[in-house]
Amino acid sequence: MSVLPQLREATWSMHQQLDRRLARSDRFTRTESYRRHLQRLWGFHAAVEGLWGTIDWAPALADIEERRRTHLLEADLAALGSTHAGLARCPQVPSCRDLATALGVLYVTEGATLGGRHLLNLVERTLGVTRDRGASYFASYGARIDEMWRRFGLAADTWCNDDERRARAAQGARAAFASIEEWLCGEETP
């Protein structure tokens, strides 16, 4: 059985709660709110991607460098007249102490590319940004989003091939959802 359905089941309620909290905000309909949202996303990705260097991804996922997205957020912020200089990084990112846990964390960031397609359409319509100017993060892999998701799923299945690794992946995914929800929707963020 594929590990992705198990990760989806383990995080479903957390995912739904995050989606509800994000939908209740104006972050995708007002430019300033959108800019603040991108700044917070940068803080999360910069912190999480900073941990990736401590993991040996080679046994499962050779294309980890291609999956980094802080540079896309930096380009989007620049297109909106902002910068990432001086931005806070999320202080409570999930630990990536082993490859299975790291794959669980990556499940959340890679899953965001799927939802990003829908948000791309929304922000293009409401804010006038485009995949080339201000919304490259949501465009992420472009036409290759499904391919990259499939490759991630194969890597997760290959590495998380026993109950212990699957449990650690689920733990990493739950921790990532908890961390990103608090970071994006906590009191300090309108």
Q: Is residue 190 part of a domain?
A: no
Across 13-18, average pLDDT: 96
Total structural domains in the chain?
1
Q: What Å distances lie between residue 82 and 41, 46, 181, CA to CA?
A: 14, 16, 23
Beta strands in 10-80 (DSSP E): none
Q: Is the distance from CB of 51 to CB of 172 less than 8 angstroms?
A: no
Q: Is residue 151 part of a domain?
A: yes
pLDDT at 188: 42
Distance CA 109, CA 89 (A): 16
pTM reported for the whole predicted model:
0.94
Binned at pLDDT 50, 70 and 90, residue 97 comes out as: confident
Across 139-161, average pLDDT: 96
Q: Is the distance from CB of 65 to CB of 136 less than 8 angstroms?
A: no
At 121-134, the pLDDT tens digits run: 999 999 999 999 99
Distance CA 151, CA 145 (A): 10
Structural domain including 159 reads 3-185
At 25-48, the pLDDT tens digits run: 889 999 999 999 999 999 999 999
> Is residue 190 predicted with pLDDT exceeding 50?
no
pLDDT at 187: 64
Structure tokens that stand for 7 in this block = 């990760």
Q: Phi and psi at residue 154, in whole multiples of 5°?
A: -65, -40
Q: Is residue 154 part of a domain?
A: yes
Instruction: Provide the mean pLDDT of the chain.
Output: 94
Q: Is residue 126 part of a domain?
A: yes
CATH of the domain at 42: 1.20.910.10
